[in-house]
């Protein structure tokens, strides 16, 4: 075995001893597991109107986009979705990417460079962290969801070009950033605010327009919104929404946009159908809120430390990485899929079960899922 392979094997053994081995688990199309691990919050991934729109586009355009957006990958389906997203989010323009990860990398890199001070919430998603690290900017990690701490950091760097980066609903614990208060600080310090709205889009705000809209910040010229299209909208892709000048800059210079193959038109058309449904889906949002309350009540009564969800994601602390893995596997063996989050996915080094709620699950299945989670606890 070559030396580099031996080094990888040693690293794999170290991860295994720490309970940090990860495993791919392919699922069949007819999988009957109750899904509290995926991100299909509103149950739209298999909605008949979404499937029909995607199928029609598949027949019209073929399987793939066949090229990057600037070569042959842009279609009228992409343009229509961007128009709808911009209107929904209250932004001047929107730009669609093939993933939320690439959208975040592209947005952070576009807004920061060697002379910029990037301030990143301690609990930010890996895509935002990677965007900060690759930007060439000076990066300061800020205490979690703390406007006063942010103000102190900005006061210590007067006259700097600054950008503050945060999620709205955080992807592990599901808590909501105090966006209005954070914006008051960034606005007073002439600082851009970039918000990853991935876990709030479709759930919070009027017509589900997200956490930024719910905080009254939609369309603000100093607020940039990113999101994935793979959660409440049930599809795939990402979006950056904001002033036209930013979108122009991303099209002209953004490497994660220019050099990436466009998302397939069928997926784009399906997401656009899901967006139409989502805007009128107050009934599904109400189910999600009720299920969040039910989950917290059931697990708290059973003695588990549970985060209070702002939208559709919450977490339950596990004794350690191996215990979290065993807990998740035991639930799966009984037909319930839950997320198992271990370092480095967790921001504080602890391990959790992450539950992502789904308004499309039958009530009796949801009730049974909560019972199984309690019964399988280590």
Active site residues: 39, 125, 167, 171, 196, 199, 231
User: How far is 197 from 274, CA to CA, in rounded Å?
Assistant: 17
Pairing mode, strands 192-196 and 238-242: unpaired
With a CB cutoff of 8 Å and minimum separation 6, the contacts of 9 are 1
227 backbone dihedrals φ, ψ, rounded to 5°: -165, 160
Asked if 291 contacts 351 with a C-beta cutoff of 8 angstroms, the reply is: no
Q: In the chain, what's the furthest Cα-to-Cα distance? A: 59
User: How far is 192 from 324, CA to CA, in rounded Å?
Assistant: 38
Residue entry with tokens 């009720």: 290
Residue entry with tokens 């605010």: 193
End-to-end distance of the chain based on CA atoms, in angstroms? Answer: 39
The verdict on whether omega for the bond into residue 344 sits within 30 degrees of 0, i.e. cis, is yes
Report the number of secondary-structure helices (H) and strands (E) in the chain: 14, 11
- Judged by phi (left if over 0) then psi (alpha if -120 to 50, else beta), residue 62 lies in left
User: How far is 373 from 338, CA to CA, in rounded Å?
Assistant: 9
User: How far is 168 from 232, CA to CA, in rounded Å?
Assistant: 14
With a CB cutoff of 8 Å and minimum separation 6, the contacts of 230 are 39, 99, 100, 236, 237
In 3-state terms the chain splits into helix, strand, coil percentages (rounded to 5) of 45, 15, 40
User: How far is 202 from 41, CA to CA, in rounded Å?
Assistant: 8
């Amino acid at each position: 075995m070559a030396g580099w392979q031996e080094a990888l094997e040693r690293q794999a053994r170290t991860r295994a001893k720490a309970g940090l081995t990860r495993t791919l688990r392919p699922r069949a199309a007819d999988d009957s597991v109750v899904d509290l691990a995926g991100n299909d919050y509103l149950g739209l991934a298999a909605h008949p109107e979404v499937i029909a729109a995607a199928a029609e586009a598949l027949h019209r355009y073929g399987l793939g986009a066949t090229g990057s957006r600037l070569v042959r990958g842009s279609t009228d389906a992409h343009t229509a979705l961007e128009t709808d997203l911009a209107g929904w989010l209250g932004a001047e323009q929107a730009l669609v990417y093939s993933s939320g990860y690439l959208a975040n990398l592209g947005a952070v890199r576009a807004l920061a460079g060697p002379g910029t001070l990037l301030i990143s919430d301690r609990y930010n998603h890996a895509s935002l962290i990677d965007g900060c690290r690759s930007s060439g900017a000076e990066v300061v990690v800020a205490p979690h969801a703390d406007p006063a701490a942010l103000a102190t950091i900005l006061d210590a760097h007067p006259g700097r070009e600054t950008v503050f980066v945060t999620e709205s609903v955080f992807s592990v614990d599901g808590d909501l950033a105090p966006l209005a208060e954070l914006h008051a600080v960034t606005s007073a310090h002439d600082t851009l605010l970039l918000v990853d709205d991935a876990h709030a889009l479709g759930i919070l705000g009027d017509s589900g327009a997200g956490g930024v809209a719910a905080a009254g910040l939609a369309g603000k010229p100093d607020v940039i919104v990113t999101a994935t299209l793979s959660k409440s909208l049930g599809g795939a892709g990402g979006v950056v929404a904001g002033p036209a000048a930013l979108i122009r800059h991303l099209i002209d210079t953004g490497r994660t946009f220019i050099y990436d193959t466009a998302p397939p038109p069928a997926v784009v058309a399906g997401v656009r159908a899901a967006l139409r449904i989502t805007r009128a889906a107050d009934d599904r949002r109400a189910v999600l809120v009720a299920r969040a309350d039910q989950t917290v009540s059931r697990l708290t009564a059973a003695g588990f430390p549970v985060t209070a969800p702002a939208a559709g994601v919450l977490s339950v602390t596990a004794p350690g990485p191996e215990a979290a893995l065993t807990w998740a596997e035991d639930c799966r063996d009984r037909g319930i899929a839950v997320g198992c989050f271990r370092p480095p996915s967790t921001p504080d080094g602890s391990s959790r079960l992450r539950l992502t709620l789904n308004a499309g699950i039958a009530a009796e299945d949801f009730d049974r899922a909560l019972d199984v989670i309690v019964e399988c606890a280590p």
